[in-house]
Amino acid sequence: MKLTFLGTRGEIDPKTKRHRMHTSLLITYQKKRVMIDCGTSWLKKLKSLKPDHIVITHAHPDHCWGLKNGAPCPVWTTKETWKLIKSFPIEDRRVLLHRRRKKIAGISFEAFPVWHSIRAPAVGYRIICGDVKFFYVPDVTWIPKIHSAFRDIAFYIGDGATIIHPMIRKHAPSGQIFGHATVRQQLTWCKKQKVKKMIVTHCGSGIVRNEKRAIKHIEKLAEERGVEVELAYDGLELIL
């Protein structure tokens, strides 16, 4: 299995060569290519990628608006997200149910509802590919079923929108929090759940504007918690 971080930039203005495209992960397994998320910056580049399947986490522009003109392959996401992008001219629409494992090109995906947005409900995916298990959630405030999500995973791929400054608000009518957990908080999740490594993606301005300083800060936070950390960048490939 190979993981390719096609894009690692969140919905922000700053761009660099290492963080230029909206966050997207490509899993290559047994000669099949599964793309997770397809934001606006992929709108005119999707066909050249030639994915066999596309899986979407939620309906925000930086995660699915690359599909506004349709898709060259089946697209998988939750019922909630399909309702929000019903106008997109996608011919092959497939549904992923919460907490139901589904094999896509030989890879097991299990959608876990997470707190992130009130208007665009998001999920993270517990992914099993061969003998490798990991959890992927590029936008997250909290994972309600975190113990089940992180059980026996080799690593966690999480939200790099902010390193230590909270980006969390409360929805007054429901009391639910939304926004982005800090990298520091997510490293603490890993420590508590005994996950040995976090890979940071969906990078915010604090990382993109001064990556060298951000890496030092993140590595220090990780060392304090006994967790290995790696900052993803556009084009990073991991062979597992």
Q: Where are the domains of the chain?
A: 2-239
- What is the per-residue pLDDT for 156? 98
- What is the per-residue pLDDT for 91? 97
- What is the per-residue pLDDT for 240? 93
**Superfamily grouping for domain 2-239:** Ribonuclease Z/Hydroxyacylglutathione hydrolase-like (3.60.15.10)
Nearest to 129 by CA among 47, 229, 25: 25
| pTM (two decimals) | 0.98
- What is the per-residue pLDDT for 166? 87
Q: What does residue 83 show for φ and ψ, rounded to 5 degrees?
A: -65, -35
- What is the per-residue pLDDT for 47? 84
- What is the per-residue pLDDT for 24? 98
Angle at alpha carbon of residue 109, lines to 105 and 113, rounded to 5°? 150
- Alpha-carbon gap, residue 143 to 182, rounded angstroms: 13
**Chunked mean pLDDT (size 10), the chain, 240 residues:** 98 97 98 98 92 98 98 98 98 98 98 97 97 98 98 98 94 91 98 98 97 98 98 97
Q: What is the 3-state secondary structure (H, E, C) of the chain?
A: CEEEEEECECCCCCCCCCCCCECEEEEEECCEEEEECCCHHHCCCHHHHCCCEEECCCCCHHHHHHHCCCCCCCEEECHHHHHHCCCCCCCCEEECCECCCEEECCEEEEEEEEECCCCCCEEEEEEEECCEEEEECCCCCECCCHHHHHCCCCEEEEECCCCCCCEEEECCCCCCEEEECCHHHHHHHHHHCCCCEEEEECECHHHHCCHHHHHHHHHHHHHHHCCEEEECCCCEEEEC
Per the rule left: phi > 0, alpha: psi between -120 and 50, beta: everything else, 121 is: beta
